[in-house]
Amino acid sequence: MAALTLTEAQKLSLNDLQPGIVESLVTRSPVLEKLPFVSFTGDNFEINRELTRGSATWNAPDAELNSEASTFTNVTFAIKYMYRLIDVPHPIQVGLSRSVDQAQVQMSEAMLAVRDEFLDAYYYGLNSSNSNVPNGLHQAIDNITIPTGVTRPVVNRASGATEGTLRIVDMDNIMFTLMKRGVDLMTMHSVIFRLLQTAARSTSVTGTIQYTLNELGKPMPAYNGVPIGIDDALRITELSASNVYSAATGGSGASIFFHRYGDMFEHGLQQTAGPVVDGPFELHNKDSVRMRIKWYVVPAILRSVYACGKIDGIDDTAAITA
């Protein structure tokens, strides 16, 4: 019986890449550390959002009563499909993996690419430009149907196409007025966080920044008790037009997002149990193996008001004012 060859052993060792994919994705993003994912079957996930609530009235004991009914709007989230392929030639894997496993390096880079692409779509996805991409938070918040009598959870700081200075009072309004049921996380670019730190040191009217340990034991800043996720997946090149967010590039603006997570609020919808590694597969037309990362996923906001809010049109160079 023939002995196990190095080539065959290398093929088998590639399967060890599967267990670490979720951990590699999650521990590198403040959003993915907290964003809950719900698995479901089928291509579409449908919900009903509140549109009008109707009103209750006081009346005399023998008065005729008027019927009031709440109304709802149907919302459908279509699952989207993201892939990354990795081809590793056998001669490279066997001959050049003395100190660095070539397949492991390629898979690690592929996982980072999947993470980066998801986060970019999570904030900036625009389905009207590419039907294969889900709508991101900017589009969802700006276009979500708001129940009558309720204020959209958005503060626009831009004046025309000119970004404005972030005000501490805007952060407080989003957290305590527009999102009355609480905020689980706020996310901002590292440049905006440094401006926030400067403001907290320079004036007594701002809230305070504290540091606590998150679920993974890493120090995490917080503003007035709300954790801050420093996330450079957010851009400082946002473009404003007519006072509101317009595009992810073309300007010098930034945004801060305020999240509430959970099954009834903001979460991710996915098929299967998350990102999956397929392979390795032997290629028939060349001496290589192929691996594939796939993730069938879409970000979703279920509640129309209390799930997510934002401040956009922020100047990324000016000092923050109270």
pLDDT in tens, 184-233: 999 999 999 988 888 777 765 545 788 877 777 778 899 888 899 999 99
Higher pLDDT, 59 or 202: 59
The model's confidence at residue 1, banded by pLDDT at 50, 70 and 90, is: very low
Q: What is the mean pLDDT of residues 103-109?
A: 75
Q: What is the pLDDT of residue 92?
A: 65
Mean pLDDT, rounded, of the chain: 82
Whether residue 75 is predicted with pLDDT greater than 80 in this model: the reply is: yes
Cα 158 to chain center, whole Å? Answer: 23
Higher pLDDT, 292 or 12: 292
State the residue for tokens 């996310």: 187
Whether residue 317 is predicted with pLDDT greater than 60 in this model: the reply is: yes
Q: What is the pLDDT of residue 205?
A: 52
Contacts within 8 Å (CB) and 24+ apart, 129-132? 132/80, 132/81
Q: What is the pLDDT of residue 100?
A: 56
Q: What is the pLDDT of residue 199?
A: 78
Q: What is the mean pLDDT of residues 148-161?
A: 88
For the ranges 93-102, 103-112, 277-286, which has the lowest average pLDDT?
93-102
Cα 42 to chain center, whole Å? Answer: 22
pLDDT in tens, 262-315: 877 898 998 877 788 887 788 788 878 788 888 999 998 887 777 899 999 999
Q: Which amino acid is at 19?
A: P
Q: What is the pLDDT of residue 203?
A: 65
The model's confidence at residue 163, banded by pLDDT at 50, 70 and 90, is: very high
For the ranges 16-25, 51-60, 114-123, 168-177, which has the lowest average pLDDT?
16-25
The model's confidence at residue 112, banded by pLDDT at 50, 70 and 90, is: confident
Rounded CA-CA distance 212/258 in Å is 18
With a CB cutoff of 8 Å and minimum separation 6, the contacts of 94 are 6, 7, 10
Cα 227 to chain center, whole Å? Answer: 15
Whether residue 244 is predicted with pLDDT greater than 90 in this model: the reply is: yes
Residue 307: name the closest of 252, 241, 258, 260 by CA. 260
Q: What is the pLDDT of residue 233?
A: 95
Whether residue 12 is predicted with pLDDT greater than 80 in this model: the reply is: no
Whether residue 106 is predicted with pLDDT greater than 90 in this model: the reply is: no
- 240 in Cβ contact with 251 (< 8 Å): yes
- 158 in Cβ contact with 164 (< 8 Å): yes
What are the helix (H) ranges across the chain? 6-13, 21-26, 30-34, 90-95, 102-124, 137-143, 168-173, 190-202
Q: Which amino acid is at 52?
A: T
Q: Are strands 226-230 and 239-241 parallel, antiparallel or unpaired?
A: unpaired
Rounded CA-CA distance 20/18 in Å is 6
